[in-house]
Chain A
């Protein structure tokens, strides 16, 4: 029916809704899966040690930092995502750091339900950086991993579509965000 507006969605009214109605929406929106139990860094530490005894922790920052071996990443990621008390469903930042001797993958994870955050780090070999992809666990990782792939040359194993995203086609070898990258043609020297 063309002239009749579809039923879903909200009514077209601009004046702001009352706070009560909005609060109801928030409760419906996010808390439907269960109770919100925000874990402190200590609790998270205990919980993750249970899951992966080999993990080492770094504290002092705002969030708990977990250092893991590259080979443990995929299983840990699955557990972090699917465990009901952790439920890290939101990968809000995925990046890599070039430390000149090695690369470090950094994953910032958050839980929209429980509102706790962790940072997972994993050292990679600089000459042959390889890590399992998490694109099937957090779909946002697909684009972020492609970006890291071209900027740092990290090879994500089993990535569905590992191609250049930002750099032009035919770009080979050089990884712009590595510390030893130099572009003799386009470098601006001041």
Chain B
């Protein structure tokens, strides 16, 4: 009898959110135990788009495997590619020309803004406000146009190669980026008006999904999810790569640890990315965009690990090389996987509607979790 209506012995209702559900932004399957509207347990079931990228990469050469990583966290494809390129460069011990470094950082930051824009719109949509989604896309599209002009694709660019970047910047790049900066500054106050300042929104977000700093570290959270709890974990600051140590930007931190803190982190991180772009856009050094590398790359025997900060948190690329042309084993430590594991912890005891808000603030990208 209990099975018939899907309840447990205690009278709790078990409900499947996903794999196809508007709030999960992809094919995440959550099995939720509910008592009325209150959540007692959240259990994620993964693997609906697991493509075994790690296994695929074992049969691809060091030039080829980078393109696959665009398909992991497709919203920060550049940063994923960057991490892989950095890891291969670490093994090859090549120096990257300064122009390539600046281009890479510029692209990373543009990607970060684009990713946060999309997150902002989707987050508001999860809470029932549809309009911000389209407003966010206006700014995001102009970033995508910049990407399309320089890299040739809007989402899966495959622009970073070991030794630099694939092509030089498009002549229009600086002009278009400045136009984007102006557009962004003209429109940013709307974000406050429509969502951030809205009293309904604040009530939905504040004091919801509390995550303490200790738990954030213990659950392996990174990126905005951990920084919302006051954990300083921005890889760009604490283990700087490329030219991040020479740039002036702040690591955004909030101490409240609730959904609203995680929201504010991302909103203010966009400002910091804008700051970085402003510093670099007029100071792109002349020179090569790529160092000459051999046609067939061979990494020495050993293990190489790089950490970069994607829009979602810390991405680790761990290459184990046997000295051949393909990696022996490759592991992607994806930020989404660890951030998802905390969902059960923070969702217990809150309402079903809040679960959606929490998933929004954790910014889950399912291909990133499944890989």
Which residues on A are within 8 Å of B, measured CB to CB? 2-3, 5-6, 8-10, 12-17, 19, 22-23, 25-26, 28-30, 60-63, 89-93, 95, 97-98, 106, 108, 112, 115, 119, 138-140, 142-144, 147, 165-168, 176-177, 181
How far, in angstroms, from A115 to B235 measured CA to CA in the complex? 11
Instruction: Categorize the interface residue count of chain B.
Output: 35 or more
Chain B, Cβ-Cβ closest to A98: B329
Given A93-B318, A140-B341, A176-B55, A26:B206 Cβ within 8 A: no
CB distance from A147 to the nearest CB of B (A): 8
Q: Give the contact stretch, choosing among B69-77, B97-105, B249-257.
A: B249-257
The chain A residue with its CB closest to the CB of B268 is: A16
Known contacts being A28-B230, A95-B331, is A9 close to B258, with CB within 8 Å?
A: yes
Looking at the complex, which of B32-40, B127-135, B189-197 is the stretch in contact with chain A? Answer: B189-197
B142 at the interface (CB under 8 A from A): no
Contact across chains for B54 and A10 when beta carbons are under 8 A apart: no
Q: Is B7 among interface residues, defined by CB-CB distance under 8 A? A: no
- The reply to whether B230 and A92 form a contact with Cβ atoms under 8 Å apart is no
Give 18 new A-B contacts, CB below 8 A, not counting A97-B328, A108-B316, A140-B220.
A5-B199, A5-B206, A9-B258, A10-B261, A13-B192, A14-B192, A25-B230, A25-B253, A25-B255, A30-B213, A89-B217, A97-B320, A112-B232, A115-B238, A140-B338, A143-B340, A144-B220, A144-B337
Q: Do residues A177 and B196 form an inter-chain contact, with CB atoms below 8 A? A: no
Report the separation of the CA atoms of residues A110 and B264 in the bound assembly, to the nearest whole angstrom.
26
Report yes or no: B46 in contact with A166, Cβ–Cβ below 8 A: yes
Q: Given A14, A16, A98, which contacts B189 in the complex, CB threshold below 8 Å?
A: A14
Cβ B302 vs Cβ A61 within 8 A: yes
Tell me whether A9 and B264 are in contact in the complex, defined as CB-CB below 8 angstroms, given that A28-B230, A62-B305, A93-B333 are known contacts: yes
Using Cβ atoms and an 8 Å threshold, which residues of chain A touch B253? Answer: 22, 25-26, 29
Q: Is B161 an interface residue (CB 8 A)?
A: no
- Contact A2-B220, Cβ < 8 Å, known A22-B250, A93-B305: no
Q: Which of A14, A29, A177 contacts B268 (CB 8 A)?
A: A14
How far apart are the CA atoms of A2 and B199 in the complex, in Å? 9
Give A16 to B185 CA distance when docked, in angstroms. 12
Expressed in whole angstroms, the minimum distance between the Cβ of B259 and any Cβ of chain A is 9
A contact residues around B250 at 8 Å (CB): 16-17, 19, 22-23
Question: B47 is contacted by which of A119, A165, A177 (Cβ under 8 Å)?
Answer: A165
Structural contact, B370 and A166, CB atoms closer than 8 A: yes
Most A C-beta atoms less than 10 A away, residue of B219, B251, B261: B219
CB contacts (< 8 Å) of A112 on chain B: these are 217, 231-233
A23 to B250, CA, bound (A): 8
Q: With A5-B203, A61-B302, A143-B341 in contact, is A93–B331 under 8 Å at CB?
A: yes
Q: Report how far A19 CA is from B249 CA in the complex, Å.
A: 8
Q: Which A residues lie within 8 Å of B328 (CB)?
A: 97
Check A143 against B337 for contact (C-beta < 8 Å): yes
User: Taking the complex as formed, is B65 at the interface, i.e. its CB lies under 8 A from any CB of chain A?
Assistant: no
Determine the chain A residues whose CB is within 8 A of the CB of B45 once the complex forms.
Answer: 165
CB B281 to nearest CB in A, in angstroms, measures 17
**Is B124 in the interface zone, CB < 8 Å from A?**
no
State which of A13, A14, A139, A176 has its C-beta within 8 Å of the C-beta of B215.
Answer: A139
Complexed CA–CA distance, A28 and B253 (Å): 10
With the chains together, A26 CA to B213 CA distance in Å?
12
Q: A140-B220, A167-B47 are in contact. Are A29 and B231 (CB under 8 A)?
A: yes
Are A92 and B188 in contact, CB atoms less than 8 angstroms apart? no
Say yes or no: B333 contacts A166, CB within 8 Å: no
Distance (whole angstroms) from the CB of B227 to the closest CB of chain A: 8
Query: Does B192 lie within 8 Å of A12, measured CB to CB?
Result: yes
* Interface check B107, CB cutoff 8 A: no
A9, A10, A26, A91, most chain B CB atoms within 10 A = A9
Interface string of B318-329 (1 = CB under 8 A from A): 101000000011
Question: Given A98-B329, A112-B233, A166-B50: A10 and B338 within 8 A (CB)?
Answer: no
B218 lies within 8 A of chain A by Cβ: yes
- Identify the closest chain B residue to A23 (Cβ): B250
Given A93-B318, A93-B331, the answer on whether A140 and B218 have CB atoms closer than 8 Å is yes
| Interchain CB contact (< 8 A) of B202 among A5, A26, A61 | A5
A9 to chain B, nearest CB (A): 4
| A contact residues around B192 at 8 Å (CB) | 12-14
User: With A25-B254, A92-B314, A143-B337 known to touch, is A16 a contact of B275 (CB < 8 Å)?
Assistant: yes
A165 partner residues in chain B, CB cutoff 8 A: 45-47
User: Quick check: B54 and A177 within 8 Å, CB to CB?
Assistant: yes
Chain B residues with CB below 8 A from A115, complex form? 238
**Pairs of residues from A and B, 6 with the lowest C-beta to C-beta distance, nearest first:** A140-B220, A29-B230, A166-B47, A16-B271, A6-B206, A143-B341
Question: Contact between A16 and B340 (Cβ–Cβ < 8 Å)?
Answer: no
